[in-house]
Structure 1
Amino acid sequence: MDLKKNKIGILGGSFDPAHKGHLAISKEAVKRFKLKKVIWAITKKNPFKKKSSLNLNERIKTCKKILKKIKNIEVRFYEDKIKSNKTLNLINYFTKNKNNEIYFIMGADNLINFHKWYKWQTISKKCNIIVYDRYGYKKKSLNSKTYKSLNRDKLKFINFNKVNISSSQLRKI
């Protein structure tokens, strides 16, 4: 293991809205994988969802409020800088610096459809993928095309003391 590597976690999403589940898996990833930091890479629009209930600036503001006293987790918007909303392009942006080792963080619900993401197999070759279990998704995610086909050295499924909350639940409130 190269101790000089910048171990950076990326949790991508629309954060519509951000919640304590995002925070819990981010903190746990920092601790478990000895990450220097986790970046909440907020997207203008999730390609798999119809639309966000809050606009981008409101979502960024909510994230910053949640992260106010957290030093090693930050929210960033990269789409204007990288001219894309594709995860692969974000990973490529970070891996330009050969000193960065990237850990892409997602919930088990995202693993189920990960094989539909743009160049998903290339993403898995360029970074480590950390999948956190979510209520009701474990069996389906462990039986997914992605889980069955990816190298276990690059993909880690984490059984986690789950926070039973989701952005879609919060939007209904």
Structure 2
Amino acid sequence: MQRYTMPFAPPGSTVGLLGGSFDPAHDGHVHLSQQALRRLRLDRLWWLVTPGNPIKAHGPAPLAGRMARARALMRHPRVTITDVERQLGTRYTAATLQALRHHYPQVRFVWIMGADNLAQFHRWDRWAGIFRSTPVAVFARPGQQMPALTSKAARRFAQTRLAAQDAGRLAHAQAPAWVFLTMPKRDISSTRLRQAEGAPAR
């Protein structure tokens, strides 16, 4: 497998972390990344292309192919495509965030995810610890606003939610802190792309 290097972030910078299988990467990921850079006022954004999703029954396509497709699609000077989870040897987001804080002690990280993930976030390993350790930005996707905002995680941390107009200061907020942002809809998903390209849904 091709080797990749740990991503660069200067001390004091703000970095958004968009994790996922990216199986495959698509324009929806690009759209969300552009929105996150602008609305969260981030210095950089990293796509964390995971070796495998521990809460999904079937594994994704080979990592090297997913990395190559993501890099061909997402061309932005402040966005880095990385397999840092493979390099760190972490499988769960909580462990990845802990390791990144160790390796980048002077960087401010923001965890970024779609509203569909917030709806089932309580299934994630040490999910409450993620909220307590790292600011979180949630971007609404088609039809996911209500399930997300009534989820166990949203209710548990309701008092720490920032107003949408304060999203630009999220990266400098003390966790727990999170924001829920809506964005222009692009009803596209990796599952639909796999089906359109003739691959089985994972």
TM-score, scaled to structure 2: 0.79
Q: How does 1:10-89 map to 2 (within 5 A)?
A: 10-52=17-59, 54-67=61-74, 69-89=75-95
Q: Distance in 2 between matches of 1:53 and 1:121?
A: 26
> Is 1:125 the equivalent of 2:151?
no
Q: 2:161 aligns with which of 145, 152, 155?
A: 152
Q: How does 1:157-168 map to 2 (within 5 A)?
A: 157-168=180-191
Q: 1:112 aligns with which of 83, 98, 119?
A: 119
Q: Distance in 2 between matches of 1:58 and 1:122?
A: 32
Q: Distance in 1 between matches of 2:138 and 2:118?
A: 7
- Show structure 1 runs of 4+ deviating over 3 A: none
Aligned-partner residue type, residue 22 of structure 1: H
Please state whether the residue corresponding to 1:46 is helix, strand or coil: coil
Q: Distance in 1 between matches of 2:46 and 2:151?
A: 26
Q: Which has the larger radius of gyration?
A: 2
Deviates more, 1:125-134 or 1:72-81: 72-81
Superposed CA offset, 1:19-73 (max 9, x none): 1111111111111111111100011111222224521111001001012x31111
Confirm or deny: 8 A CA contact 2:21 2:60 kept in the other structure.
no
CA RMSD of the aligned region, Å?
1.4
Deviates more, 1:120-129 or 1:90-99: 90-99
Q: Which runs of 5+ in 2 are unaligned?
A: 1-10, 163-176, 197-202
Confirm or deny: 8 A CA contact 1:14 1:52 kept in the other structure.
no
Confirm or deny: 8 A CA contact 1:53 1:171 kept in the other structure.
no
TM-score, scaled to structure 1: 0.92
Q: Distance in 2 between matches of 1:79 and 1:107?
A: 20
